[in-house]
Structure 1
């Protein structure tokens, strides 16, 4: 890579010399010194094994080989100029390919809704959605955006916290848990674990007073899939946690029922995670804005007025 960059500097120096007609003027254009320009020109000639210019104190002209190199280098410079304009446009106008990673449950719900709105607004952007409930490596996966549920701990990434997703305890319609009146009563019931968000130790918050209580529950079944844990609830395997957007229709229809109506689990942060850096393509920010607006209207979602960033 270093040698390629060195060659780039040498070619740019040569073009400046050819266009300016002397070393001193080229040095001013490049913001360097005349000896540096002279050395780079000699290095380029040595690398190519040919003389590119005939020069004296007062006269300078290109050799035939130098003129040919100038012609080819100018063609390359024109292509680079087009690339530069395209890349600059990418940072201001959504275009290109947007690769998103998110959890299965969200991906099959409001992430797809956000993508539909996004594609309607920006049809020139192609979208790839990868769903996983496991760990995500943005660099390794070559992804633009990770919609993270539960919080990202990597301090090297840029994190925009969109808000908090509330969660309630539910069970199947026929599950024998109506006698639970206080959080401590849950200890006699099996917990459907959702790795890593719901495990044996639960922190519950009173919706009336804000009081917090911690209870221990045994988990005979656990999964890292949100949809799988919800299906386990429907099948009567125990008490589980779900966000209102997921269980709302079944609650209304009586297919599942709420356990401890006056209490909720600690809400889960929803974050938009990207690779840290000064410049971010417009296609990423445009999608995050659409997703944030959609989440604001999602049942059980608590919108944050200010996002937070860990790295920028």
Structure 2
């Protein structure tokens, strides 16, 4: 038995939650994954996992073994990465998860320059607004806005974005231009709501000016749980949308959208790149994070 390989396979089973998902992520046959874990248990003379038809559960002994070996494996990866790779030319694949508008509006336009700088790195870009289990889904890092409260992650602040409220010229022609947030509460205007893909809860749109604050829940006939659809709802005249300024700047410049209530806006939202705290970041992840910081530099100040 290759003990290091068996340790890596065991860790991936723990993180993925099933032998099948672990085998897929490791690109190994499932019987090979099962055999390696069984050999490791026989070598240690202890039960590490409890198997069911759908999921595996870690035993107390398995949890203790995982916590200690995960640190060892992370150290080995970092040592190998630093010794075997040219620091100016890292290799491998960085698995990233990011929201739709950040992916399409901010990252995509800059990725050709990233590829030119690091031609031997690949990016696996998962695009979703839902919460992601970095360990279970084998994701190296996520880019998210808001408060990073998950203590299992290391979060590096990379910037912040202003909010704006926008609508299409056609919508404003039909319904008029609001001058106060209270007009969004009396049924005169349609507000396209954004609801969480994870919880289903609608996120009220805050409007702040000095000491005044109004939290508006949309009264339109449509709500969405994905940020690109949120912007498209405004473009098609379905109602008012509060979103990030940089996301709609091109639409404002060409006149497809119009900003309203410009003197009413919440504080800018901070954005973070985050990765698991129990893993030392590899060289490939470090250079990607540094690049993301560069990309977000124009959005580091807010209004």
Q: How does the TM-score come out when normalised to structure 1?
A: 0.63
Question: Could you tell me how far apart the structure 2 residues matched to 1:230 and 1:133 are?
Answer: 14
1:236 aligns with 2:237: yes
Q: Which range is displaced more, 170-179 or 282-291?
A: 170-179
1:153 aligns with 2:156: no
Is the Cα–Cα contact under 8 Å of residues 91 and 121 in structure 2 kept in the other structure?
yes
1:125 aligns with 2:128: no
Question: Could you tell me how far apart the structure 1 residues matched to 2:253 and 2:144 are?
Answer: 28
1:194 aligns with 2:194: yes
Q: Which range is displaced more, 234-243 or 173-182?
A: 173-182
Q: What residue number does 1:110 align with?
A: 106
The CA deviation at 1:230 is 0.9
Question: Could you tell me how far apart the structure 1 residues matched to 2:78 and 2:232 are?
Answer: 51
Q: Which range is displaced more, 91-100 or 249-258?
A: 91-100
Q: Any unmatched runs of 5+ in structure 1?
A: 9-46, 48-81, 305-312
Q: What residue number does 2:207 align with?
A: 204
The secondary structure found in structure 1 opposite 2:268 is: strand
Q: What residue number does 1:185 align with?
A: 183
The CA deviation at 1:87 is 3.6
Q: Any unmatched runs of 5+ in structure 2?
A: 8-42, 44-75
Give a deviation string over 1:60-98, Cα, whole Å, max 9, x none.
Answer: xxxxxxxxxxxxxxxxxxxxxx99963443688332221
Is the Cα–Cα contact under 8 Å of residues 199 and 219 in structure 1 kept in the other structure?
no
The secondary structure found in structure 1 opposite 2:193 is: strand
Is the Cα–Cα contact under 8 Å of residues 114 and 290 in structure 1 kept in the other structure?
no
Q: What residue number does 1:99 align with?
A: 95
Q: What residue number does 2:36 align with?
A: none
Instruction: After TM superposition, list the pairs within 5 Å mapping 1:29-40 onto structure 2.
Output: none
Aligned length: 223
Q: What residue number does 1:86 align with?
A: 80
Question: Could you tell me how far apart the structure 2 residues matched to 1:222 and 1:84 are?
Answer: 45
Give a deviation string over 1:252-311, Cα, whole Å, max 9, x none.
Answer: 2222111212122343221101011362112112111111112112xxx2349xxxxxxx
Is the Cα–Cα contact under 8 Å of residues 162 and 303 in structure 1 kept in the other structure?
no
Q: How does the TM-score come out when normalised to structure 2?
A: 0.65
Question: Could you tell me how far apart the structure 2 residues matched to 1:216 and 1:100 are?
Answer: 33
Q: In the superposition, relative to structure 1, how do residues 241 and 85 fare at CA in structure 2: closer, same or farther (>3 Å)? A: closer
